[in-house]
Amino acid sequence: MKRTLFIGTLVASLFSGCATITQDNTQAVSFNSIPNGAKVYVDGQVKGLTPVTLQLDKGDAKKVKFEKEGYLTSEKEISKSVDTWFFGNIIFGGLVGSTTDAVTGNMYEYSPNNYTVELKKK
């Protein structure tokens, strides 16, 4: 029994990344606008009205657009950076673990994870 548990743990650690184990491949990102009630589009799809918090896949950069009647449209790309868990994985997980995090997108995080835009009247 102990041997099976040990082998299972060893296999799981060899084929999993640290960030993959400790975090999901999505991240909560909040969007706010002044005034509230703007439509939020992520990569061209309506996702809600501000204020809103969305679960976004961490693998790709996202284009976000804010629209509200009577106001100019505002667009921005939300940035991502390498998650600090990834560096721990390089130390403890080596090449296999860090490669897993890179392939799954779990080596990234959106930073910041809260965006506010002030819309200008037309």
Q: Is the pLDDT of residue 17 over 50?
A: no
Strands of the sheet containing 74-78, edge to edge, are 45-49, 39-42, 62-67, 74-78
The answer to whether the predicted template modeling score (pTM) of the entire model surpasses 0.85 is no
Which one is predicted more confidently, 40 or 94? 40
- State whether CATH 2.130.10 applies to domain 2-118: no
Query: Percent helix, strand, coil in the chain (nearest 5)?
Result: 30, 40, 30
pLDDT at 109: 79
What residue segments make up the domains of the chain, in order of their start? 2-118
Average predicted confidence (pLDDT) for the chain: 74
